[in-house]
Amino acid sequence: MPVITCVEDLRLIAKKRVPKAFYDYADSGSYTESTYRANSDDLAAIRLRQRVAINVDQRNTRTTMVGQDVTMPVAIAPTGLTGMQWANGEMLGAIAAEKFGIPFTLSTMSICSIEDVASVTTKPFWFQLYVMRDRGFVKEMIQRAKACKCSALVLTLDLQILGQRHKDLKNGMSVPPRLTLANIIDLATKPGWALRALGGRKTFGNLVGHVKGGDGILTLSQWTASQFDPTLNWDDVAWIKKEWGGKLILKGILDVEDAKLAVAAGADAIVVSNHGGRQLDGAMSSIEALPMIVDAVGHQTEVWFDGGIRTGQDILKATALGAKGSMIGRAFLYGLGAMGEKGVTTMLEILQKELDVSMALTGTKDIRDVNLSNIIRK
């Protein structure tokens, strides 16, 4: 086992251990991937302000997100097909997040079902909802989330239409992997993944039993592709809020006008996000949009950040720009794909240590005191 010093080390291990189609699914953006790259590049362009001769003993990274105590201002973002990075990956990720003390968000398009994750956790997790044309399915998922005692609903708003991801088309990405010659050769080089997959779940767990015509992966994939709803609007958000009745987090906000509408809709938190650069290629980076949205609505609701976080320094920068929390997706998948539950824990430990050290070197003892004075923007 190589010495793991950073999230990039985990990414490289995951790339070797996860089948190419699934690794590329996680590590890609839409079209030219310009927004995907901008998420990381724009974060890197922000400089931290070094301070010295300040007492920074006994630092604190703990805070709250929608009233929930968290070890650091981070939640695991919802990621689709997580169980294809490592067998039963959603269950392992939820276990690691609970032990570490941060929220885990389960995607509608997960391999493990919401009940699967509830069976291995002892504290409430969050559930992410996609709005489908089949409103009966939407209502059913909300009721299942309630039954599993989920403490918040994350409603993703920026996936009414799928942005094209070239790598998925070229890889023939499917679940399970399509048995082309290239994929067979690739799987042969990843025996550990293949062996784990034999004992893991292999379909969309939340969809099983709902779709008429069978629970096979092909049937469920075809149903899903036809179900993303381009008619989604703020009236639907109001209906979902009423059906849910609990903490509602709106994800996919990148515009001030939409942020104001989200607040008017009663969002307990909004997530500044461009879906990891996987939807509108050419949109601004999440970190570029964050300050203007914080200025517009940060006094009315919690504003969180999502997009490009690979280090604890990135978390510090987002916090300095006003984010009350950050969501991490790809860094989570890198850790999971590299070493399963242990990899997720390692990833979280790395981010917290980097955050803690960077706070100290900027003269800050408490994450709740981080602000614009901690950074230098060009």
Q: What is the pLDDT of residues 65-97, one digit of tens each?
A: 999 999 999 999 999 999 999 999 999 999 999
Task: Say which of 166, 210, 275, 299 is annotated catalytic.
Answer: 275
Model confidence at 183, pLDDT cuts 50, 70, 90, reads: confident
Q: Are 100 and 123 in contact (CB under 8 A)?
A: no
What pLDDT, on the 0 to 100 scale, is given for residue 64? 98
Q: Which residue has the tokens 């929608």?
A: 66
Amino acid identity of residue 245, one-letter, is: G
pLDDT above 90: residue 147: yes
Read off the pLDDT band of 306 (50, 70, 90): very high
Active-site residue, 210 included: no
Extended beta strands in 121-196, E state:
126-129, 152-156
pLDDT band with cut points at 50, 70 and 90 for residue 280: very high
3-state DSSP assignment of residue 346: helix
Q: Which token pair is 314?
A: 């990135």
Examine the pLDDT at 368 and tell me if it is beyond 80.
Answer: yes
- Strand ranges inside the chain, DSSP E: 47-48, 63-65, 68-70, 74-76, 105-106, 126-129, 152-156, 247-253, 269-272, 302-306, 325-328, 375-376
Amino acid letter at 107? Answer: S
Each residue of 229-254: pLDDT tens digit? Answer: 899 999 999 999 999 999 999 999 99
Residue with tokens 């048995």: 179
Q: State the Cα–Cα distance between residues 107 and 205, nearest whole angstrom.
A: 10
Q: Which amino acid is at 16?
A: K
Residue 332 CA to residue 105 CA, distance in Å, equals 11
CA distances from 80 to 47, 66, 290 (A): 32, 23, 24
Asked if 151 and 269 touch (Cβ cutoff 8 Å), the reply is: no
Please determine, for residue 176, whether its predicted confidence score (pLDDT) is greater than 90.
Answer: no
Q: Are 56 and 310 in contact (CB under 8 A)?
A: no
% of the chain beyond a pLDDT of 90: 84
